[in-house]
Every structure is written in structure tokens, then in C-alpha cells.
Amino acid sequence: MLDESLLDAPDALAHADHNGLLRGAAEAGARVRTALRHTAEAGITGLAPEGRPRAVLIAGSGAAATGVADLIAALTANAAPVTRLRPTGVAAAAGALRWTLPGWAGPVDLLLIATTEGSEPGLALLAEQAYRRGCTVVAVAPRQSPLSEVVGGTHGLMVPMATAPNGQYGQSTQNGGNGGNGTYGQAGEPGRSGLDEWYEPEATPVTGPGALWALFVPLLALLDRVGLLTAPAETLQLVADRLDRTAERCGPAIATYSNPAKTLAAELADSLPLIWTEGPAAAPAGRRFAAVLAELTGRPALAAELPEALPAHSALLAGHFAGGAADPDDFFRDRVEEPQAWRARVVLLRDRPAGGLTAAPAARELALGHDTAISELEPEEGSELEALAELIAVTDFATVYLALAGAAPA
């Protein structure tokens, strides 16, 4: 059960947040700025490539690296083939994982390595294999890691991963001093929302929600330089600004009734989320939402793109998880001993204008026709990357609130 009273108790949320998940979500904008600085220092913004790579290969371990691979594949789908190298091994442990280049990989291909650990021997071996094959290798990993020593300077280009910056949690506003608006302070200044009073700096885990952007931004800048997508520094600065504004709206000090992330968390209590997406940016955001729900809350969720989601999930809406599956007129059934029934709830993520060609009306009709509630998120106007950033930020905050309020299934 979701303890909704906890959502509007910032101090209680802080007490429950032992792993610094709220801070990890709040610092996403600051991570983008730090990653941009590391990217420039590594020389990526000054690259003058002679042409596009034939194919892009991506390898890494952990949820953040998996999300980065999916995002890059979605954003560059029309420019070059993107292949995620999936690890093999006897266990999901850094020392047991191994990656192998496909037989066709060679000098005209680009290998991207993203990891929040950098201690995986298999990734170091992969970088050495790619170097021998003549592949261009670019890695994003912690600065003091075995992988950085292998790649940096000899086997490829190494970009240090942006760690959580102390006191950098987004842009301040006029009311930031009292923490009432949920802001997180100007980049480089002390945070102004009260979060700095809740957590010691070392309490923020490197692998929190902000880790995605620490890995993603340098690779976006690289792919912009080689012509596979459009992500200049100016656009990435706008992404950081969008993440800051979203953190202001979704912060722990903002009441549920005006907080889209807390509202979504409350709506998903005791439900099976069916995440339906429409638009190129919404699709990877929806898959990430399903992944972090499972990782942080233990809650299963199903993600699918419209219009294919309609036939794929129609049986779920009509079956055991249907909104009207329970008989409300069965007055004599035992409600005390009866376990809480899960009901499907559609979460519609969109990144295209409502006035364009859309399957959203059909999605609403199908859901409501089966007495299934529907939640909708649509970002403000802006670039594709800004829309993607807003959707990820809102759903990250919602997942954290679900985790902290005890919404994991029994």
C-alpha cells in the first residue's frame, strides 16, 4: 500500500531516503553541465571527423548503461545501425561479465562504452579487442577506474563520468530560500530547497537517477560531432535547464496536488502500469520508466508503443487486471482477508503535438471502455532532447516517490 501522507511530508521522505534517490533525481541538470565540461576537456567538442562511422556498437553494465544504449539507438535509428553488445557470463557481477565484438566490426565502426563502475574486466578486454581490430573506442567511466587506465590515451578516448556535484541541484527562483518551491540551487551554489540539510554529500550514490545523464551527455556530444544526431552544446544546456525546471515542479516540497510526479505515484498505487508511448522520444522514456519501476520499487510494468500497444494489451484490460474485474455489488465478500487487487492503469507518454496525427484518442477510448483509469504526461514545447529529458525526469521522480512511500508489492 502507498502511504500517501508520506508524499506531503518532506522530512519523512528524507528520513526514508537512505540511498539519496531524491537528490539523484534532483541533480540531473547539474550532472548534464558537469558532463559537458568533462566532454570539452576531453576534446570531443573540438573533434573534426572525416566521415560517419559505418555502425555504432554500445557496451556497458548496469541500468544506467542499458538506458543509454536504448536512448542512443532510438535517437540515431535513421542515421546508422546501432547494436548493443549484450554481456554474457555466469553471474550479473562485474568480474563475471564478458562482451564480444561481432565478427564484422572493424576500422570504420565506433565502439561506445558506458559504465558507472569501470571495474569490469570484460569491458577492458573489449576495449583492447576493439583497438586491435582498428575500431574507434570512446568510453565514459569513473575517472579513477581500471577501464579509464586501459582506454585513456592509448586505446581510445576517455571521458570521466560526471559525479554528483555538491550543492548543484538546478536553478534557483525567488522563493528558493525557504524551500517552498522545491528548487535545488543555482549550479555551483548551495542548494536552496532544504535538501542539503537532509543529506550529507557522500550520501548521494553515483548510480542514482542522475547517473543516466552523466553517461549519456558525453556520448550525445560525440554523436553530434560525427553527424549521427543533432545535439550541440547549446541544446544540451537547454536540456539541463529543462531538467532543472522539472525538478522544481516535482521536488519533495511541492504538494501532491500540484506535483506531477507525486500525482503519478499516487495514481499508480496498487496498479499494474501499462505504459503506452507515442513519439520517438517517448518510446525510450517509457521503456526506462518500466525498468526503473522494477529496479527501485519491485513493481512490474509493461511498456509498448502506440498504436501496437492497443492490440498487445487489450486482453489485459479485459481480463483479471481490468478496472471492473471486482464485483462492487458483492456486499458479503470478506474484505478484511481479501488481498488488495491490482488493476491495470494506462500511463500515456507523448512527445508530439495533440493536433497532429495521433493514436491517443483510440488509446483513451480503449482504456475507458474497459473501466481502466489513464494518466497522461506530455512535455512542454521544445526540442526532441528537451521533451525526452522532461519525460525521464518526471517518471524518475514518480518512481522514487513510489519507492519511498512503500509502494512495492507485498
- pLDDT tens string 369-400: 999 999 999 999 899 999 999 999 999 999 99
pLDDT tens digits, residue range 267-308? 998 899 999 999 988 999 999 999 999 999 988 999 999 999
pLDDT higher than threshold 50 for residue 57: yes
Entry pTM: 0.85
pLDDT at 96: 92
User: Chain-centre distance of CA 352, in angstroms?
Assistant: 19
pLDDT 10s digits, 209-262: 889 999 999 999 999 999 999 999 999 999 999 999 999 999 999 999 999 999
For the chain, what is the HEC assignment?
Answer: CCCHHHHCCHHHHHHHCCCCHHHHHHCHHHHHHHHHHHHHHHCHHHCCCCCCCCCEEEEEECHHHHHHHHHHHHHCCCCCCEEECCCECCCCCCCCCECCCCCCCCCCCEEEEEECCCCCHHHHHHHHHHHHHCCEEEEEECCCCHHHHHHECCCEEEEECCCCCCCCCCCCCCCHHHCCCCCCCCCCCCCCCCHHHHCCHHHCCCCCCCHHHHHHHHHHHHHHHCCCCCCCHHHHHHHHHHHHHHHHHHCCCCCHHHCHHHHHHHHCCCEEEEEEEECCCHHHHHHHHHHHHHHHHCCCCEEEECCCHHHHHHHHHHCCCCCCCCCCCCCCCCCCCCCCCCEEEEEEEECCCCCCCCCHHHHHHHHHHCCCCEEEECCCCCCHHHHHHHHHHHHHHHHHHHHHCCCCCC
The pLDDT of residue 283 is 94
Structure confidence at residue 391 (pLDDT) = 97
* pLDDT for the residue numbered 408: 41
How does residue 329 score in pLDDT terms, banded at 50, 70 and 90? low
Angle at 46 between CA 40 and CA 47, to 5 degrees: 120
Q: What's the pLDDT at 228?
A: 94
Assign 332 a pLDDT band (cuts: 50, 70, 90). Answer: low
**Size of the chain in residues:** 410
Q: Say which residue, 216 or 336, is predicted with more confidence.
A: 216
